[in-house]
Amino acid sequence: MRREKRKSIRKRVVISFAVIFLMSLAISGVIGFKTAYDDVMQDGEALAKSCVEVTSYFLRRWDSGNLGETADEHSYMIARKLTRNFCKGFGLDYLYVYKIDAAAGRRKYVFCSAADDEKDEKAQDFVNGNASAEELMSDEMAILNGDLSIQRIYLDNKYGKEVAWLAPYLDGEGKLEAFIGMDVSMESEKRMILKGFALNALLVFVSLSLGLAVFLVTVNRRIIKPINAVYDSMMHFVLSGDQGQSLVFDAAGKDEIERIVLAFEKMKGDIRAYLDNIEALTREKLETDVQIDVARRIQNGLVPEVMARNSETFSVNAITRPAKIVGGDFYDCFVRDKDEVCVMIGDVSGKGISAAIFMAMAKTMLREKLMVGLSPADALSQANVELCAANPEGLFATVFVFVFDPLGGKLIFSNAGHTYPVLFGDDVSLMKVDSGMALGLFDDFAFENSAMDFSAGHGILVYTDGVTEATNPSHEFFGSGRLLDSLRGIGIGKGTASEAVSRVSDAVREFCCGSEPFDDMAVLAFFNSANVSSGGLPANGKWTELPVSLSSFDIVRDVITNACGDSLAMKHVLLACDEAIANVVSYSKATGFKFAYGMVNGTFEVVFSDNGVPFDPTVCNLDDKEFDTLDQGGMGIGIMSKSCSSMRYKRENDCNVLVMSFELEA
Write the DSSP string, 333-384. Answer: EEE-GGG-EEEEEEEESS-SHHHHHHHHHHHHHHHHHHHTT--HHHHHHHHH
CA distance 53 to 90: 14
Report the distance separating Cα 641 and Cα 625, nearest Å.
15
Please determine, for residue 368, whether its predicted confidence score (pLDDT) is greater than 90. yes
Cα torsion angle, 59, 63, 67, 68, sign: negative
Per-residue pLDDT, 16: 78
Q: What is the mean pLDDT of residues 145-159?
A: 78
pLDDT band with cut points at 50, 70 and 90 for residue 40? confident
pLDDT at 627: 41
**Rounded to whole angstroms, how far apart are CA atoms 359 and 332?**
12
CATH code of the domain containing 133: 3.30.450.20
* Whole-number Å distance between alpha carbons of 20 and 212: 10
Quote the Cα angle for 195-196-200, to 5°.
115
Quick one: 163 and 90 in the same domain? yes
At 365 the pLDDT is 93
Please return the burial class of 457, using the count of CB atoms within 10 Å of its CB with bins 0-12, 13-18 and 19+: buried
In this predicted structure, what is the pLDDT of residue 289?
A: 66
Q: What is the mean pLDDT of residues 245-252?
A: 54
State whether 376 and 428 are in the same domain: yes
Mean pLDDT for the stretch of residues 591-615: 86
Q: What is the pLDDT of residues 336-350, one digit of tens each?
A: 877 789 999 999 887
pLDDT of residue 296: 61
| Domain assignment of residue 469, yes or no | yes
Q: Which residues pair with 522 in a beta bridge?
A: 320
Q: How confident is the model at residue 1 (pLDDT cuts 50, 70, 90)?
A: very low
CA pair distance 641, 618, nearest whole angstrom: 8
What backbone torsions phi and psi does residue 308 show, to the nearest 5 degrees? Answer: -145, 125
Contact 640, 572 (CB under 8 A): no
Domain termination site, one of 499, 528, 557: 528
- Taking only the tens place, the pLDDT of each residue in 57-70 is 777 776 544 555 54
The mean-pLDDT minimum among 143-152, 303-312, 468-477, 525-534 falls in: 525-534
Assess whether 433 and 471 both reside in one domain. yes
In angstroms, the CA 111 to CA 181 distance is: 11
Measured between alpha carbons, how far apart are the two ends of the chain, in Å? 87
| Averaged pLDDT, 410-435 | 89
Q: Same domain for 576 and 639? A: yes
Angstrom distance (rounded) from CA 439 to CA 450? 18
Same domain for 270 and 324 = no
Q: Last residue of some domain: 261, 282, 302?
A: 302
Q: Report the relative pairing of strands 428-430 and 450-453 from DSSP bridges.
A: unpaired
180 shares a domain with 84: yes
* 391 CB-near residues (< 8 Å, 6+ apart): 358, 440
177-191, 231-245, 407-421 — which one is most confidently predicted on average? 407-421
Confidence of residue 129 (pLDDT cuts 50, 70, 90): low
* Predicted structure pTM score: 0.46
The answer to whether residue 231 sits within a structural domain is no
Provide CB contacts within 8 A for 249, sequence distance 6+.
Answer: 258, 261, 262
What average pLDDT does this structure show over 289-305? 65
Q: 62 lies in a domain? A: yes
| pLDDT above 90 (res 414) | yes
Rounded mean pLDDT, 575-597: 91
Q: What is the pLDDT of residue 179?
A: 86
Alpha-carbon distance of 608 to 544, in angstroms, equals 10
Residue 229 lies in a domain: no
**Is the same domain home to 47 and 156?**
yes
Contact 445, 434 (CB under 8 A): no
Average predicted confidence (pLDDT) for the chain? 79
Residue 401 pLDDT > 90: yes
Domain count, the chain: 4
Mean pLDDT of 314-326: 81
Looking at residue 67, its pLDDT comes to: 56
Backbone angles phi, psi at 203, to 5 degrees: -60, -45
Contacts of 521 (CB under 8 A, 6+ apart): 320, 321, 323, 329, 463, 464, 466, 467, 470, 508
pLDDT level of residue 532 (50, 70, 90 thresholds): very low
Give the pLDDT mean for 506-511.
90
Same domain, 516 and 565: no
Residue 131 banded pLDDT, cuts 50, 70, 90:
low
Domain contains 537: no
pLDDT score recorded for residue 291: 63
Cα separation, 619 vs 616, in Å, equals 6
Please say if the pLDDT value at position 467 is more than 80: yes
The pLDDT of residue 141 is above 60: yes
CA distances to 253, 315, 341, 343 from 309, in Å: 83, 6, 12, 12
DSSP 423-485: EESSSEEE--------BTS-TT-----EEEE--TT-EEEEE-HHHHT-B-TT--B-HHHHHHH
**Domain shared by 500 and 575, yes or no:** no
Q: Which domain holds residue 77?
A: 9-193
Q: What is the mean pLDDT of residues 121-141?
A: 71
Of residues 630, 547, 554, 627, the one with CA closest to residue 584 = 547
Handedness of CA 103, 105, 106, 112 (dihedral sign): positive
* 449 and 377 Cβ atoms separated by less than 8 Å: yes
pLDDT reading at 258 higher than 60:
yes
CATH of the domain at 401: 3.60.40.10
What is the mean predicted confidence (pLDDT) over 204-219? 78
Question: Is 306's pLDDT higher than 90?
Answer: no
Residue 427 lies in a domain: yes
**Cα–Cα nearest to 91, from 41, 47, 150:** 47
CATH number of the domain bearing residue 581? 3.30.565.10
Cβ atoms within 10 Å, residue 618? 14
CA distance 511 to 466: 13
Is 313 in the same domain as 293?
no
Overall average pLDDT of the 610-625 stretch: 77
Identify whether 217 is part of a domain.
Answer: no
Count other C-beta atoms under 10 Å from residue 558's C-beta.
Answer: 10
**Residue 375 shares a structural domain with residue 524:** yes
Q: How far lies 602's CA from each of 133, 304, 312, 599, in Å?
A: 156, 30, 9, 6
Which of 503, 528, 553 corresponds to the end of one domain?
Answer: 528
Would 226 be classed as within a structural domain? no
Q: Are residues 393 and 515 in the same domain?
A: yes
Residues with Cβ within 8 Å of 611's Cβ and at least 6 positions away in sequence, in order, are 590, 591, 592, 593, 654, 655, 656
pLDDT of residue 666: 46
CA-wise closest residue to 123 among 160, 89, 149: 160
